[in-house]
């Protein structure tokens, strides 16, 4: 595989193999409503022509925000400006997904924190309350479709609610949701697919960095659950419920992506401190994963892919417009 080749991901035709993972901008003002900062931010990222962007973790219900500066999709006023984000990203020929999330006990602002288990100020969800959350996700899928997103990413990583149900660290329930820790994830994927009707991607933490937590060898059941519900791809991250900070280094999560790719025929996305052209080329040439996600690299250098393409002689004024072309193209100076 090569960085600038086209490909088909689910039903989406993609222009290259590089995407931008979900990254919270923390720019909402306590109401979950996107504003001009969000529109400008996503326009800048889209101008750099990744194949796709995953919009930041967006809450499907009020108690699901990570922080009070996060976006929501569950009120009409929240949905109104999301249309503008979709439109501006599509203007650049870039696909846009929305990451749907419920933070569970990791919410910093919920009036009532919920999770799989009771714990201090955290309430263990009843089966009826779980059902209501699945319905919240289904509605979010319906709205994402109406808003024109190309795909939905379900956030089942980083220690948020779905991850709390998947992990033995936080789920020792004795009901159906404890007997099968993938049950909530399966219900959510199935529910969102039924309303969104397009490609649904799932983001997982493939390593929890805790002895009693999930490790890559435990991922088989989770991968099978994701496949069985008809998801289009798996995005492989790690951590979220670890007590101590993890050691990071270039491409530190790619071994997990490679291991997941060996478990599934679904396309796999890899991420984690990838910043250099050679790293991207090697990951793809070795087929460690099908898509490479660049987060912080493209936050600080949004036109990195354009400069790289220019070095290959692949950049044209027709593709990116005169202004950006004159800024990026090097005439040998
Ligand atoms: C500012 C910031 C916000 C983030 N927010 C999210 C998020 O909303 N959802 C998510 O799944 N990951 C989130 N992440 C993790 C990134 O998606 C990505 O996995 C991580 O930054 C590692 O990739 P990188 O080294 O290329 O940045 C965030 C990371 C950063 C730096």
Q: Is residue 1 part of a domain?
A: no
- In this structure, the residue with its CA closest to atom 21 of ligand 1 is 295
Ligand 1, atom 7: nearest CA belongs to which residue? 23
Rounded to whole angstroms, the maximal C-alpha distance in the chain is 68
Cβ-contact 117, 75 below 8 angstroms: no
- Report the nearest-CA residue for atom 25 of ligand 1: 273
Are both 252 and 281 inside the same structural domain?
Answer: yes
Helix orientation angle between 127-147 and 76-90, rounded to the nearest 10 degrees: 40
The atom of ligand 1 lying closest to the CA of 273 is 25
Q: Is the pLDDT of residue 316 over 60?
A: yes
Ligand 1 pocket (Cβ < 6 Å) reads 21-24, 56-57, 99, 155, 157-158, 203, 237, 271-274, 294-297
* pLDDT tens digits along 201-229: 999 999 999 999 999 999 999 999 999 99
19 in the same domain as 125 = yes
Tell me, in angstroms, the distance from the centre of ligand 1 to residue 330's CA. 31
Q: Given a cut of 60, is residue 141 above it in pLDDT?
A: yes
On whether residue 14 sits in a domain, the answer given is yes
Number of folded domains that form the chain? 2
- Among 18, 19, 22, residue to substitute to test ligand 1 (most atoms within 8 Å of Cβ): 22
- Full residue range of the structural domain in which residue 311 is found: 305-333
Averaged pLDDT for residues 168-192: 98
pLDDT tier for residue 235 given thresholds of 50, 70 and 90: very high
What mean pLDDT do residues 112-116 have? 97
Does 287 lie in the same domain as 194? Answer: yes
Looking at the structure, do residues 313 and 248 belong to the same domain, yes or no? no
Q: What is d(CA 149, CA 144) in angstroms, rounded to the nearest whole number?
A: 6
Helix/strand/coil for 297: helix
Mean pLDDT of the chain: 97
Closest residue to atom 31 of ligand 1, CA basis: 296
Residue of the CA atom closest to atom 15 of ligand 1: 23
One domain, residues 176 and 315: no
60 and 179 assigned to the same domain: yes
| Distance separating alpha carbons of residues 227 and 103, to the nearest angstrom | 24
* Same structural domain, 92 and 202: yes
Average pLDDT of the segment spanning 235-252: 97
Mark whether 260 and 238 lie in a shared domain. Answer: yes
119 and 238 share a domain?
A: yes
CATH label of the domain that carries residue 94? 3.20.20.70
Average pLDDT of the segment spanning 37-66 = 98
Q: Are residues 316 and 262 in the same domain?
A: no
Task: Please identify, by atom number, the ligand 1 atom nearest to the C-alpha of residue 157.
Answer: 11
Where do the DSSP E strands lie in the chain?
Answer: 7-9, 12-14, 18-20, 52-59, 71-72, 95-101, 113-115, 122-124, 151-156, 199-205, 233-237, 268-271, 291-293
**329/196 same-domain check:** no
State yes or no: pLDDT of 287 exceeds 80: yes
């Amino acid at each position: 595989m090569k960085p600038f080749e086209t490909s088909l991901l689910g039903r989406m035709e993609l222009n290259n193999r590089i995407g931008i993972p979900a990254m919270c901008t923390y720019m909402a003002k306590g109401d979950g409503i996107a504003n001009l900062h969000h529109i400008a931010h996503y326009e800048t990222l889209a101008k750099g022509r990744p194949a796709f962007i995953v919009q930041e973790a967006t809450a499907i219900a009020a108690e699901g925000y990570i922080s009070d500066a996060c976006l929501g999709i569950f009120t009409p006023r929240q949905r109104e400006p999301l249309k503008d984000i979709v439109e501006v990203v599509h203007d650049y020929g870039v696909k846009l997904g929305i990451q749907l999330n419920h933070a569970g006990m990791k919410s910093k602002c919920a009036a009532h924190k919920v999770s799989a288990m009771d714990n201090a100020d955290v309430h263990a969800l009843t089966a009826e309350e779980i059902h209501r959350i699945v319905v919240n996700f289904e509605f979010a899928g319906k709205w994402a479709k109406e808003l024109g997103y190309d795909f939905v990413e379900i956030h089942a990583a980083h220690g948020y609610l779905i991850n709390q149900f998947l992990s033995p660290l936080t789920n020792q329930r004795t009901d159906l949701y404890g007997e099968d820790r993938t049950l909530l994830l399966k219900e959510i994927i199935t529910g969102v697919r039924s309303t969104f009707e397009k490609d649904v991607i799932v983001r997982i933490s493939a390593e929890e960095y805790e002895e009693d937590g999930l490790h890559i060898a435990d991922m088989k059941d989770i991968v099978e659950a994701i496949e069985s519900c008809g998801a289009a791809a798996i995005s492989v991250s790690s951590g979220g419920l670890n007590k101590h900070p993890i050691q990071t280094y270039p491409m530190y999560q790619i071994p997990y992506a490679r291991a997941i790719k060996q478990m599934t025929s679904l396309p796999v996305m890899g991420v984690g401190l990838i910043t250099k052209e050679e790293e991207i080329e090697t990951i793809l040439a070795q087929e460690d994963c099908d898509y490479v996600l660049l987060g912080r690299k493209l936050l600080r250098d949004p036109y990195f892919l354009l400069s790289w393409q220019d070095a290959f002689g692949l950049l044209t004024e027709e593709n990116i417009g005169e202004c950006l072309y004159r800024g990026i193209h090097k005439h040998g100076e």
